[in-house]
Amino acid sequence: MFYHTLNPTLLNLGPVEIRWYGIVYVLGFLGTVWWMSYLSRHQKLSFTRDQIWDLVFYAMLGVLIGSRVFMIFWNPQVYLVRPWELFYLWQGGMSFHGGFVGIVAGTWLYCRKHHLSFLPIADIISVPAIFALALGRIANFINGELWGTITNASWCVDYSKNQYLSNLPAGCRHPNMIYSTFQRFLVGGWLLFLTFRQVWKPGFIFWNFVFWEGLGRIIVDVYRDYPAHQLYFSFSLGQWFSAIMVLTALYFFVKHYSTEWKQLFLPTKFINH
């Protein structure tokens, strides 16, 4: 059993709080800059430093806007009545699926503005994005939010002694955010393997990100404690959005990337070009 007594705030400077969740966002975008700079130095990307920062700015805006707008799906009783509260970032509440839509939209808009092909850039951004998402789950755990279901497993988490949380759940619970962290690191390892294995058809790495992250979210959310009124045919809203991700990725795999999957798992002599 682990007693959760972690403080969501890293530093408290009077009216200014530096929270772990905010640190994760900063690290995520700096990691994207580093990754793109690394690829540029190794002639795998033809971007200048200014172009990299511009693209990351578009992506950052997309994540912030998308993740907040999608909170309407989770709390319509709040944001449809008081939509201006979507701008209250300090109150928390960031939707993964909204952030995903936002970063795709931001990247697409940047590519369109500069007459660039979207899919190769999406492949590149997928790698730092999945690792940033993994760090985000660690921040969720530190924040003591998105609790797991009750369990008697020896690794369960008890929040009852946390003085920093105003809303304490009863019982010892699955550390589902830690499960999600490991799942996303596994996906990140797979994307790195694909990146350094060979040059793929544009979009193959991106759709791998979409498929495996969507599937992982469906599985891990089994251990997340959702109120009964937030379940639809035994699936949470997040699981349904993730199912859309999985089905969409499968469609593109079958239609456009069958050769790439054969290259991964079949000897060369069995691949029909």
List pLDDT tens digits, range 123-134: 999 999 999 999
Question: Which is more confidently placed, 199 or 179?
Answer: 179
Query: Nearest 10 degrees: CA dihedral of 237, 82, 108, 111?
Result: -160
Question: What pLDDT does 233 receive?
Answer: 84
Sequence-ordered list of residues with C-beta below 8 angstroms from that of 176, at least 6 positions apart, any chain: 146, 147, 148, 149, 220, 221, 223, 224
User: What Rg value do the Cα atoms of the chain yield, rounded?
Assistant: 20
Reported as a single tens digit per residue, the pLDDT across 21-76 is 888 888 998 999 999 999 999 888 889 999 999 999 999 999 988 888 888 877 77
Reported as a single tens digit per residue, the pLDDT across 155-180 is 999 998 998 888 888 899 999 999 99
d(CA 172, CA 151) in angstroms, rounded, equals: 6
Q: Decide: 208 and 201 in contact? Cβ < 8 Å.
A: no
Q: Which region, left, alpha or beta, applies to residue 139 given φ > 0 means left and ψ of -120 to 50 means alpha?
A: alpha
Sequence-ordered list of residues with C-beta below 8 angstroms from that of 96, at least 6 positions apart, any chain: 67, 133, 136, 217, 238
Stated pTM of the model: 0.90
Q: Decide: 141 and 37 in contact? Cβ < 8 Å.
A: no
Beta strands in the chain (DSSP E): 2-3, 9-13, 16-19, 157-158, 172-173, 231-232, 235-236
Max CA pair span of the chain? 67
Question: What pLDDT does 263 receive?
Answer: 86
Q: Which of 209, 217, 221 is nearest to 249 (CA)?
A: 209
Q: Decide: 74 and 237 in contact? Cβ < 8 Å.
A: yes
